[in-house]
């Protein structure tokens, strides 16, 4: 996942308050990738 896509996925995840699994499906990545990308924001 490129940086731009990771930023968009993270914004999507927090804006729509959907599950990490749904975000992963929308962006074509695994749920674990979604967790890693979204948790970077919290650091």
- Indicate whether this model's pTM tops 0.75: no
Domain that holds residue 8: 3-41
Looking at the structure of the chain, the number of domains it has is: 1
- Residue that is written with structure tokens 């599950």 in the block: 19
Half-sphere exposure of 26 (CA within 13 A, CB side): 16
- The predicted pLDDT at position 6 comes to 83
DSSP per-residue string spanning 1-43? --HHHHHHHHHHHHHHT--HHHHHHHHT--HHHHHHHHHHHT-
1-43 per-position pLDDT tens digit: 788 888 888 888 889 888 888 888 888 888 887 777 667 655 5
């Amino acid at each position: 996942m490129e940086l731009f896509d990771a930023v968009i996925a993270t914004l999507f995840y927090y804006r729509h308050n959907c599950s990490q699994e749904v975000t992963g499906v929308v962006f074509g990545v695994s749920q674990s990738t979604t967790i890693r990308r979204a948790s970077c924001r919290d650091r």
